Amino acid sequence: MKAFLILLFSFLTSGETAPTKSETPVQETITTYFFIRHAEKDESDLRNKDPRLSAEGQERAKKWAEVFKEVEFDLIFSSDYDRTRTTATAIAHTQKKEVEIYDPRELFDPQFQKKTKGKTVLVVGHSNTNPAFVNLILGSEKYKALDEKEYGSLFIVTVAPSGEKISQVLYVN
């Protein structure tokens, strides 16, 4: 009987072992980018290169926060202008997140790609930088700069682990 138990134990413990932590397969997830333009800016002084939001813009920033209340962002980015930071902050505040500054001259660089991979990301930019940013992600010139009076565009780009990319534009006005 003792020999049988030893044989049985040897049989049960031989063969495949449980995967170690380093052998555990990594499950990649989808990366989702949301791009919005800053809300309406104060145009009372056309010489001001960094205007604040107008009263209408303040209201739109609050509406964006409401639109995104069911979307849990991992990261929220803004260009370094008062109007974009204020728009992003309205959303970040409701999610208890910090706003990170990105450089619109270095769109979708390797560091940004690594940092955002597998995340849900909001980018608050401009009428020209948002379409350019989306085009870089897609690897094609699909979108053109927005009209200067368009503040309600929402670009959504998903990148699957396979590399497949899908985009759409919604208008929230």
Cα 141 → chain centroid? 20
pLDDT tens digits for 136-149? 999 999 999 999 99
E strand or H helix that includes residue 121? strand 120-125
CA distance 28 to 117: 9
| Mean pLDDT in residue range 7-30 | 49
Q: Give Cβ neighbours of residue 118 (< 8 Å, ≥ 6 apart).
A: 28, 29, 30, 31
For residue 163, pLDDT over 50 is answered with yes
Q: Name the pTM for this structure.
A: 0.83
CA distance 136 to 168: 15
In CATH, the architecture of 31-43+53-171 is 3-Layer(aba) Sandwich (3.40)
For residue 15, pLDDT over 60 is answered with no
E strand or H helix that includes residue 129? helix 129-138
